[in-house]
Amino acid sequence: MRIVRLILAGSILAGGLMIAGCSSSPSDEELAQLQKLKDQASALQDQVNQAQKAKADLEKQIAEKNGKLQQCQSDQAAVKKAMGK
């Protein structure tokens, strides 16, 4: 995610430098490039958000499975104790 943010920041900075050229107002081409960069930034942020949601879902599944595993281990220990082992 840091890489995505660095690429995003670099793209926006590069776009800003292109727009800040010698002219007093940006050209239509520069405005189009800026809009394209904004769209790309938005798409990348959406991907980051989706990845974070997927990560949270996986972490929740892991926590649930770890809870079940711990319960199984506890049950197993209780059975061994009851059997005298």
pLDDT tens across 19-47, in order?
555 567 889 999 999 999 999 999 999 99
CA distance 85 to 22: 84
Task: Please report the pLDDT score of residue 23 as a whole number.
Answer: 60
Q: What is the pTM of this model?
A: 0.57
Per-residue pLDDT of 40-78, as tens digits, reads 999 999 999 999 999 999 999 999 999 999 999 999 999
> Model confidence at 7, in pLDDT bands (50, 70, 90)?
confident
Nearest 10 degrees: CA dihedral of 75, 79, 84, 85? -60
CA distances to 1, 37, 59, 82, 84 from 75, in Å: 41, 57, 24, 10, 14
For the chain, the domains span 2-82
